[in-house]
Amino acid sequence: MDSEDRPKKPDQAHGVLVLDKPSGPSSTQCLERIKRTLGQRKIGHAGTLDPLAQGVLLVLLGQATKIASYLTEGRKQYQGVLRLGIETDTYDVLGKVLSTTDPTEANAQRVNAAILEWAGLIEQEVPPYSAAKHQGKPLYALSRSGRDVPVKRKPIQIFQAEVLSIDLPLVRFRVECSAGTYIRSLVHSLGKRLHCGAVLEELIRERSHPFALDQAHGLQDVLDESEAFSGKVIALREALPHFPKHVLSPEQSRIVRHGGRLPGNFSGNGPHSAESPAPGARALFLDDQEHPLALVEMREADGVLQWTILRGLF
């Protein structure tokens, strides 16, 4: 194909692409394909998915890479399938098999009760094959080199856990959890409690707050339809729909651009009231052309509540 016949790569986008990541490639590999094929040089993501997993991956483009931490911290919802009677070093079916056990005694009633117990967990063990770090090195690098991997635990919160179907040795479940929860570890710990081992066989991220799977675009569709790419990207001003928006006057915008604060009860063109929101409240400031200016938080400064910049977006 002559260079003149090749589709023109889109301009650098600034916003969020809700990607339906396929099972197989890593999150980084998906981003590299978008970067290379569609010319998106400034790209990142909010919350990685293991190669086995599929579903919602929030791809951040351009200026939206600045809001990663405000999307990563949101709740996640997953649907998964676990297999009883097997244990691997990675806690999923892609790993090296360490042991197999007859799971006959793990009847449906016991399995259902064990999954419902996830809702009471407040911490979990980090998988030895994970990107969590010890002394600056990821645990998976230590595992692959044959070195001892320290046992690390992390706080988590499980908001909901339910069994969708049981066809032993396979169990389909759904779980809603805090950011950073390892579903592989939930499955591994369940296998330990049932004394038969368990591995994760399938995982779909159905929701990464505030976006869901029904908003997601398949990777191949994104790559094949370069002319439609910009229409698939959620604009930066809409990328945090749970943040109230305030449109500033030119003078207020000037203050924010110079790093200044605004009084908590200022009068903008967006939602506001005579009283300041509570400390810790967050909002998105827009200039008078409704372009994103900054993420802000209500904090006490100089004895009064003021909007303080968390992250500039201009």
Q: How much is the pLDDT for 303?
A: 87
Q: How much is the pLDDT for 265?
A: 82
In this predicted structure, the answer to whether residue 169 has a pLDDT above a threshold of 60 is: yes
The answer to whether residues 84 and 196 belong to one domain is yes
The answer to whether residues 117 and 157 belong to one domain is yes
More confident call, 241 vs 145: 241
Told to judge if 288 belongs to the known catalytic residues of this protein, a careful annotator would answer no
Q: For residue 233, what is the DSSP state?
A: S
Q: Averaged over 113-132, what is the pLDDT? A: 83
Residue 9 covered by a domain = no
Q: What does the pLDDT look like over 278-314, one tens digit per residue?
A: 999 999 999 999 999 999 999 998 889 999 999 999 8
Q: Averaged over 38-60, what is the pLDDT? A: 96
How many Cα neighbours within 13 Å face the side chain of 140? 8
Q: CA–CA separation, 25 vs 51, rounded Å?
A: 5
The answer to whether residues 224 and 120 belong to one domain is no
Q: What is the SS3 assignment for 73?
A: coil
Residue 172 covered by a domain = yes
The answer to whether residues 55 and 119 belong to one domain is no
What is the percentage of the chain residues whose pLDDT exceeds 70?
87
Tokens 């369940």, residue located = 190
User: Given pLDDT bands bounded at 50, 70 and 90, which one contains residue 25?
Assistant: very high
Q: What does the pLDDT look like over 102-116, one tens digit per residue?
A: 998 889 999 999 999
Q: How much is the pLDDT for 140?
A: 55
The answer to whether residues 83 and 66 belong to one domain is no
Contact by Cβ (8 Å): 49, 155: no
Alpha helices in 73-155 (DSSP H): 108-116, 139-144
Q: Averaged over 207-235, what is the pLDDT? A: 97
The answer to whether residues 87 and 185 belong to one domain is yes
Q: How much is the pLDDT for 105?
A: 85
Contact by Cβ (8 Å): 41, 269: no
Please state, rounded to an integer, the average pLDDT across all residues of the chain: 90
- Structurally, how many domains does the chain consist of? 3
Q: Averaged over 80-87, what is the pLDDT? A: 98
Alpha helices in 194-289 (DSSP H): 219-224, 229-232, 250-257
User: Given pLDDT bands bounded at 50, 70 and 90, which one contains residue 127?
Assistant: confident
Query: CB within 8 A of 32, min separation 6: which ones?
Result: none
Q: How much is the pLDDT for 177?
A: 97
Q: How much is the pLDDT for 86?
A: 97
In this predicted structure, the answer to whether residue 142 has a pLDDT above a threshold of 70 is: no
The answer to whether residues 84 and 25 belong to one domain is no
- Give the Å distances, CA to CA, from 77 to 159, 161, 203, 213: 10, 10, 10, 10
Which domain range does residue 65 map to? Answer: 15-74+211-238
The answer to whether residues 69 and 95 belong to one domain is no
Q: Averaged over 67-84, what is the pLDDT? A: 96
φ, ψ (nearest 5 deg) of residue 190: -65, -45
Catalytic residue among 50, 148, 214, 288: 50
Q: How much is the pLDDT for 267?
A: 62
User: Given pLDDT bands bounded at 50, 70 and 90, which one contains residue 144?
Assistant: low
Choose one of 220, 238, 256: the last residue of a domain.
238
Q: What does the pLDDT look like over 177-205, one tens digit per residue?
A: 999 999 999 999 999 999 999 999 999 99
In this predicted structure, the answer to whether residue 133 has a pLDDT above a threshold of 60 is: no
Q: How much is the pLDDT for 104?
A: 87
Q: How much is the pLDDT for 137?
A: 61
pTM: 0.87
Q: What does the pLDDT look like over 246-271, one tens digit per residue?
A: 999 999 999 999 999 999 887 665 54
The answer to whether residues 145 and 258 belong to one domain is no
The answer to whether residues 256 and 275 belong to one domain is yes
The answer to whether residues 147 and 261 belong to one domain is no
The answer to whether residues 144 and 51 belong to one domain is no
Whether the ω angle into residue 263 lies within 30 degrees of 0, i.e. cis, is no
